Amino acid sequence: MTSSKKIEFKVNPSRLKYLLDLYKLSKDAFLRLLNRGIKRDIVTVEKFNNILGQKELVPESLLKRIDKIFDKGISWYVSTRDISDVKRSSIFFRKESFNSEIKFESIKVVHKYEELSTDIQILGNYINFIPTKRIRKYKISESPLDVANEVRGIIVEIEKDLIKKEIIDRISFGEDRAYLKNIIRILEQLDIFVFEHLEMPRKIEMEGTHFI
């Protein structure tokens, strides 16, 4: 006989507050997201304040609904470990303003790759892998054309070497996908990681929502 008892969790309030600050969400804006699509609000401001004050436990169903917004995984919200060094955790804490309005889904994408970058650094430390900056640091005052030619020269030399070693194939004009694969393999030689992001229709639609 299965138990009908609801599973409830005590969330870490500092982690919820961290997400609200990261996404520039007020409590009201967050609750609008959380209650969207249902006739009667499942979380009121009073209930949310109780959750932040750890006066109420959160049922698993509600935790899953919260996670549909932030995609962090249920265990992330209940971890007792606080976020360390918040200002360094994301560019959205380090910078006060940007050249354009940053939408919710855009923040989520950037933050995802910020976390991935941190994971790579941690894993690199475990195997004593330290990426080397093989392209020098350029100044804004330098000629863009000169910089482009210098970087192109570096890439061409690596490309020749990889073709010689039969690691990549020589490609013809117009083979866009093959060219992209070659560029990624070349950038690997420079200790540059390349990530692919595919936009999903549902997530693009969410960008049209104004939260603040």
DSSP letters for 103-134: PHHHHHHHHHHHHHHHHHHHHHHHTT------
Higher pLDDT: 120 or 200? It is 120
Q: Mean pLDDT throughout 104-127?
A: 78
Phi, psi of 53 (to 5 degrees): -90, 5
CA distance 25 to 23: 5
CA dihedral sign of residues 206, 209, 210, 212: negative
HSE-up (13 A, CA, CB side) for residue 119: 7
Task: Read off the pTM.
Answer: 0.63
pLDDT single digits (tens) 39-72: 776 888 899 999 999 899 999 999 999 999 998 9
Phi, psi of 8 (to 5 degrees): -125, 150
- pLDDT tier at 210 (50, 70, 90 boundaries)? very low
66 contacts 52 by C-beta, under 8 angstroms:
no
Q: What is the pLDDT of residue 201?
A: 59
| Burial class for 64, CB neighbours closer than 10 Å (0-12, 13-18, 19+) | exposed
- pLDDT tier at 132 (50, 70, 90 boundaries)? confident
pLDDT single digits (tens) 169-178: 998 877 888 8
Minimum mean pLDDT range among 74-78, 120-124, 153-157, 179-183: 120-124
The count of residues in the chain is 212
Question: What's the mean pLDDT when you consider all of the chain?
Answer: 82
- pLDDT tier at 204 (50, 70, 90 boundaries)? very low
Q: Element (H or E) spanning 17, and its range? A: helix 13-22
- Locate 44 and state its tokens: 């009121």
CA distance 105 to 146: 36
60 contacts 7 by C-beta, under 8 angstroms:
yes
Q: What is the pLDDT of residue 116?
A: 79
CA distance 72 to 189: 32
Q: Which has the closest alpha carbon to 190: 136, 150, 151, 133?
A: 133
Q: What is the pLDDT of residue 44?
A: 87
